[in-house]
Structure 1
Amino acid sequence: MKLKPSDRTRRRLLAAVAAMACGMSSAAPSASAPQAPVVLVVGDSLSAEYGLARGQGWVALLQERLAKSMPQARVINASVSGDTTAGGRARLASLLKQHAPTVVVIELGGNDALRGLPLQGTRDNLQTMTRASQAAGAKVLLLGMQVPPNYGSAYGRDFAAVFPEVAKQNKAAWLPFLLAGIADAPDASSWFQADRIHPTAKAHPRMLENVWPLLQPLLR
């Protein structure tokens, strides 16, 4: 059957519309697919399971929790015992490039205080790490630390103030004290290893409970 010019035009228009519809339907799922969360933890011995059996630290417990509620989520523990904020700053760029995290948890600063490093350096390093993480597209959670009273009230106050200052300046999330309910508990000595610095295995679930309320909203 020979088609009239009007029939041929109509068929071409219908074919074009159908092709456009197929293209739109195939592109929609990929555009709306959520990115699986990747949590990068950059910390020191408090996050590196110092003195513990593997799997007992709060970071490993976090991975277990996420495996139940967000099976696609990944937790990268890039913590190094003894690390300082300067060390974390030096390592961060390659970690961001390698893992492309959606959330970066910074748990550093305690060793700066133990070594008596200048607070301005600690502040600058945390500031740089926070901004670099945000520039890479990640949300940031700073885990605050406090020092024992024997360091002096002025130093302790100034050190603790570093974390909220950096968080406020960069609109990052902030936990006042990672060891809340542990280091300040009436029976604090029972929550620490013999060195009185590193928490025991029973303390790490509580550490995770301190972190979780602030971390969970960043994963949505």
Structure 2
Amino acid sequence: MALKDFLPFFLSLAMTIALSATARAESVSLVGFGDSLMAGYQLPPEDAFPARLEKALREKGLDVTVANAGVSGDTTSGGLARIDWSVPDGTRGVILELGANDALRGIPPEETRKNLEAMIARLKGRGISVLLAGMLAPPNMGADYAARFNAIFPELAKEHNLVFYPFFLDGVVTEAGLKLEDGMHPNGDGIGIMVERFLPTAELFVRSLGKGE
């Protein structure tokens, strides 16, 4: 059989490889950047928020990966110190979830805001979009602290035109059955509720990046 008889096969194979490479190139790489709430404190890796969110987004037909860059105990100052090397090149979007430990430690809200704004600026400077996940101060910090802290997240989202999710622990924070024995961190069921409520915002975020479908 002459070589020319194999040309249609080779052309078809080359086209398949090219299309496959293009599909892989269009996959959206996200990073979940946060503290223990993102890291999946005391949970198996597959139950952590990023893994569960990735699964939910893929079930929506979106070609997405969500890397877990959560560090238990991290504050906004800790996040700022590691933001450059924790978010690899090629990342299209970051879910920025930090601030809870700042509030627990009574760190001045002005410092928290400054750190978050610096992280947003660094990410946007690299061409990486940001989905900002909000947090609320615990009641024991008092009304004045809460008012100053809680305002950080919606104000930053508005000023920097970010996709915004108002409260990362929505649906979980007041439900004992959705938290670990420490009464602070979500259990597997709690993560499921968080992902369910977060999903529409995450889907909007991915679609705003223009790829992944």
TM-score of the superposition, structure 2-length normalised?
0.80
Distance 1:210 1:128 in 2: 28
Corresponding letter in the other structure for 2:82: R
- Match of 1:203, SS? helix
- Match of 2:47, SS? coil
Larger Rg: 1
Q: CA deviation at 1:58?
A: 1.9
1:148-203: per-residue Cα shift (whole Å, max 9, x none)? 2222122122211111111111111111111112114xxx2222212111111111
- Match of 2:144, SS? helix
Distance 2:153 2:52 in 1: 24
Of residues 173, 180, 184, the one that matches 2:163 is 173
Distance 2:131 2:82 in 1: 17
Aligned pair 1:124/2:114, yes or no? yes
Whether the aligned pair in 2 keeps the contact of 1:100 and 1:136 (CA below 8 Å) is no
Distance 1:190 1:147 in 2: 21
Q: Judge which range, 139-148 or 71-80, deviates more.
A: 71-80
Q: Which residue of 2 aligns with 1:26?
A: none
- Match of 2:46, SS? coil
Whether the aligned pair in 2 keeps the contact of 1:178 and 1:210 (CA below 8 Å) is no
Corresponding letter in the other structure for 2:188: A
Distance 1:141 1:78 in 2: 14
Runs of 4+ in structure 1 off by over 6 angstroms are: none
Q: CA deviation at 1:127?
A: 0.5
Q: Which residue of 2 aligns with 1:20?
A: none
How many residue pairs get matched?
189
Of residues 148, 153, 157, the one that matches 1:163 is 153
Unaligned runs of 5+ in 2: 1-20, 208-213
Unaligned runs of 5+ in 1: 1-29
Root-mean-square deviation (CA, aligned residues, Å) is 2.4
Q: Which residue of 1 aligns with 2:84?
A: 93
Distance 1:54 1:215 in 2: 20
Aligned pair 1:189/2:179, yes or no? no
1:43-100: per-residue Cα shift (whole Å, max 9, x none)? 100011102122112211112223444564221111100001111111111234x242
Distance 1:64 1:34 in 2: 19
Distance 2:102 2:63 in 1: 35
Q: Which residue of 2 aligns with 1:18?
A: none
Distance 1:105 1:219 in 2: 11
Distance 1:180 1:141 in 2: 16
Pairing of 1:133-172 with structure 2 (within 5 A): 133-172=123-162
Distance 1:99 1:76 in 2: 13
- Match of 1:55, SS? helix
Of residues 72, 77, 81, the one that matches 2:68 is 77
- Match of 1:104, SS? strand
Distance 1:165 1:106 in 2: 15
Distance 2:74 2:39 in 1: 10
Aligned pair 1:211/2:202, yes or no? no
Q: Which residue of 1 aligns with 2:26?
A: 35
